[in-house]
Amino acid sequence: MWSNDQLLVSSRQVDAQSHRDPRIHRVAADLASTEAAVRVGNGRWQLEGCPLKRISVAAGSEQEYVAWYAEMETPKGVWLGRRSTQDETFGNYTPLHPDAAVSDAPATAAHGDALWVVWHAKTADAGRGIYLSTSDDGGASLSPPERLSDNDSTAAFPAIALNEREAVIGWEAGGQIVAMRRARTQTVAQHEP
């Protein structure tokens, strides 16, 4: 993800105690790392082995965002953090789907002050499906999770792209790729996290 003439790169760094901490690195246009990697989240996940969990980053006009699966936060699942493009650390951590039985595999996209996040989740009412939350104020508030996939199907591993007019969202369902366009004016009502 490109932000402020820097590339944002996500990783999971492992320490001697087997903590798998999500980190965000900034790499300058000359390809030199501009600062130390920033640890994301509050909890530390200690695990023997690699969790293979996606860490998604996006950059808007004034904010950078990270979404990741957080095993050690309460509730565990997909969380979102943000920072200004000038800040070193992320904060304002928010669970994206706190009432889901399971949530994972987030993908983020930003344009200007708009942020759109998709992920897959299982709820008490439906099997695994694709959900969307949006923000038009730099992530200060988020819409409630909206299910995009059919209730009758199992859907996973979403991807998203966003421009000034629309988002294109895709995912896997039953061995097929499903894609949709959503105009930015079709966002659901905002609420404070």
Structural domains in the chain, CATH included, are 54-186 (2.120.10.10)
In this prediction, residue 113 carries a pLDDT of 94
Note whether 118 and 130 are within 8 A (CB). Answer: yes
The pLDDT score that the predictor gives to residue 33 is 63
Q: From residue 73, how far is each of 24, 43, 90, 133, 145 by CA, in Å? A: 18, 5, 15, 20, 19
Give the whole-angstrom CA distance, residue 133 versus residue 182. Answer: 13
pLDDT for residue 23: 77
DSSP secondary structure letter of residue 43: S
Listed in order, strand segments (DSSP E) in the chain are: 2-3, 6-14, 20-28, 38-39, 55-59, 63-70, 77-84, 91-95, 102-111, 114-122, 129-135, 146-147, 155-162, 166-173, 176-183
The mean pLDDT values, 10 residues at a time, for the chain of 193 residues are 69 78 78 73 71 83 92 91 88 95 95 96 92 96 95 90 93 92 68 41
Rg of the chain over all Cα atoms, to the nearest angstrom: 16
Per-residue tokens: 122: 């299982």
pLDDT at 16: 82
Q: What is the pLDDT of residue 141?
A: 95
Distance CA 142, CA 124 (A): 22
Question: In this structure, are residues 94 and 143 in contact, taking their beta carbons and an 8 Å threshold?
Answer: no
Dig out the tokens for 151 from the structure: 């209730």
d(CA 89, CA 72): 19
